[in-house]
Structure 1
């Protein structure tokens, strides 16, 4: 059938009209989706902005206000103790040798409320060996024994007394350790936590220790515990009760200074620092230290990421410039490359020597017979050293105007003998010196320190020849007192006297067992090696110590390798 031109035209026009309608519909639909997406995007931006604004309000307004007005929040900021074990069985059955778990009652300020503090009493190593094989071992009697002094250990925040067992292992070589938990920590009683109340608890625990021993008590604090320890010592000294020494490990100058990492918060002082101070969270270690009279040792690591080591330096400046006391102030800073950070200073191999030196501990395996000087050394008590005999030797001298020269000496017992010494008012030092189980160390000090013909030694000609003749006489006197090996240790100028002494002894066919030269004048190692041709001559060893700040007269603190060699 034939189709007219008119019909074809209308068919084409209808098709084109339908296509345009479809495109218009699709375009309108796309625009609607776009408008919807834009609205959603704008809504999302608004929501995110509101959330961001809310976060800013919470951080910069809400949190400061909460800290300012909530004592509970302040308490949790300072005394972090959530998640610590609190079951008595945990502390009673803890895997650690030779300790007992105790609960010591203390009264709150005002005496209205009673609390108990969870306490560990850890035995010294020598006593621990006995206790491990004796189920009836009397810990109370052991604590009363004056042979070992006591450390009262204050842990840091967020810890319990069970978190420093590796440190206790080191300290137990020399001390009884009393480690405890503050109120509300671990298995101690719950109570309000303020600095004054915690310090009051600590004072009572100190009294509890004092009632059970007459040995010296040292106070050791770590981090926040160092400030509590310093405040406790200050409060005790104000009551005329004097701990033997204070050790501050990783300590801060004040809690305000420590909190300055948050100083970017607006109104920081008004909303954080002042409310903490007003509510009894002060912890002004620097202020306490200014008024403490006992000896102080400060330990800090350069890489401490929690308490910057500059705080330790500042505390040492304060301790070393205290007025009204001649007590010792010592600072040990540990190189950042060692990786001790905030908690691991106890890993340092020389820490035990720092403890020995600061706490006036004696060399544990040898006798020391040293020629002394300066002032009057006959009053041993004022030096606060145990097991020391002051005596004098008359040295005949043909060329001096007087008939003889009197030399002042000290004999210091090995640490193992101190228990017998303390229990015996008339200790037999001569008999102890004749004991062949212990070596003898004859110490010759440097210039300006302790030397024959100084102070309470006789005044006479000061020449090298005369001094060496005196020391030769002392050496021969020692040989007549004991069959033990005798080692000669010289420091600085004393190294010249020591080598001259050995040379004179050799000329008389008197042999010595060893010579130690500390900080000598010249490079003696190569000379000693190159000139020792006889096969019967002993070995020569040289130890150069890495920079630890020991300067010229503190080498003994770094004598771990020497100790191994001489044994």
Structure 2
């Protein structure tokens, strides 16, 4: 009996050892799908909360929001794309919303409010997991609302209720460009309020790519060159994929050295993530929000953060 237990324990231990030192490294090294999923963690079975009614933001604990979609033909994927978007209004407009009795007119009413607004507008590019209704993102929207900012938040292709196609670098940047183009087109060109592009985690690479390459991206889409935003805000950014991959939880499993196993390029954000994000930031008017959430009502006027201690690059954070 004891011998059987010992043999079973030894077999299990040996199996786990083989999985750790051989199977996991080989799967990671030779599977672009696994590496892609580490960057674009858009698996619907892992999203939380699930079974959301995106068309009714109030059911997702969003006060003062409306849902709509932006549709276009993707040049990256050569197919029709629908991007799910929320427009969340500032607290100063709550009264106007709550006195509306005919809810069939709320969308055009809020669209008119957006066209006429002088309040700052935040275009929010979220991180690599979940969707625009994730609880931690809802808390961020509330901070913006209390600051009387409009919020335009959206899901990239493959996320949320957007078209379920595989995300790629070109695709998600194209999504951000089309939402930004819609926003600029919706505003009064003579009295355009400040538009802030806010990227979080993976969204910092997407937002930086968009702003740094605005003219080229517009030319590729065949649209007039869009004006630059008033500011680019990078929350929990990273310098490049090589440095970021070292911070991934999977890298804590020894003897995995994911940095050495990375397939470059893997077809996901290669252009930005192989380079150094600081090079793009140096050409932009930006704000680095460093090490944690934005304090309530503060931190919208800062300067690029110096390098972290030990000579590491600024604000290396996990993709989340």
TM-score between the two structures when normalised by the length of structure 2: 0.74
Alpha-carbon distance, 1:85 to partner: 4.9
* Equivalent in the alignment of 2:65: 99
Q: Tell me which of the two structures has the higher relative contact order, counting C-alpha pairs closer than 8 angstroms and 6 or more residues apart.
A: 2
* Equivalent in the alignment of 1:258: 244
Matched, 1:74 2:30: no
Partners of 1:285 and 1:99 in 2: CA distance: 37
Partners of 1:54 and 1:298 in 2: CA distance: 45
The structure with more radius of gyration:
1
Q: What's the CA shift string for 1:437-466, capped at 9, x where partnerless?
A: xxxxxxxxxxxxxxxxxxxxxxxxxxxxxx
* Equivalent in the alignment of 1:284: 273
* Equivalent in the alignment of 1:209: 183
Alignment map for 1:155-554 (pairs within 5 Å): 155-163=126-134, 164-172=137-145, 173-213=147-187, 214=189, 215=192, 216-238=194-216, 239=218, 241=226, 242-261=228-247, 262=251, 264-266=254-256, 268-271=258-261, 273-275=262-264, 277-282=265-270, 284=273, 287-292=276-281, 293-301=283-291, 342=292, 345-346=293-294, 348-349=295-296, 352-355=297-300, 357=301
State the secondary structure of the residue aligned to 1:291. Answer: helix
* Equivalent in the alignment of 1:89: 53
Contact 2:47 2:131 in 1 (8 A): no
Partners of 2:32 and 2:85 in 1: CA distance: 27
Q: What's the CA shift string for 1:159-215, capped at 9, x where partnerless?
A: 321232222222123321101112222222211122222112111111111111142
Partners of 1:248 and 1:260 in 2: CA distance: 20
Q: Which runs of 5+ in 1 are unaligned?
A: 1-36, 302-341, 360-567
State the secondary structure of the residue aligned to 2:78. Answer: coil
Contact 1:219 1:247 in 2 (8 A): yes
Alpha-carbon distance, 1:246 to partner: 0.7
Contact 1:247 1:298 in 2 (8 A): yes
Partners of 1:58 and 1:281 in 2: CA distance: 29
CA-based RMSD: 2.8
Partners of 1:108 and 1:69 in 2: CA distance: 29
Alpha-carbon distance, 1:88 to partner: 6.1
Partners of 1:269 and 1:66 in 2: CA distance: 14
Partners of 2:75 and 2:28 in 1: CA distance: 25
Q: Which runs of 5+ in 2 are unaligned?
A: 219-224, 304-320
What number of residue pairs does the alignment pair up? 272
Q: What's the CA shift string for 1:310-365, capped at 9, x where partnerless?
A: xxxxxxxxxxxxxxxxxxxxxxxxxxxxxxxx4xx23x24xx3432x459xxxxxx
Contact 1:222 1:250 in 2 (8 A): yes
* Equivalent in the alignment of 1:503: none
Partners of 1:231 and 1:265 in 2: CA distance: 34
Alpha-carbon distance, 1:72 to partner: 2.7
Contact 1:149 1:176 in 2 (8 A): yes
Distance change >3 Å, CA 55–CA 79, structure 1 → 2: same
Distance change >3 Å, CA 353–CA 90, structure 1 → 2: closer
TM-score between the two structures when normalised by the length of structure 1: 0.44
Matched, 1:54 2:15: yes
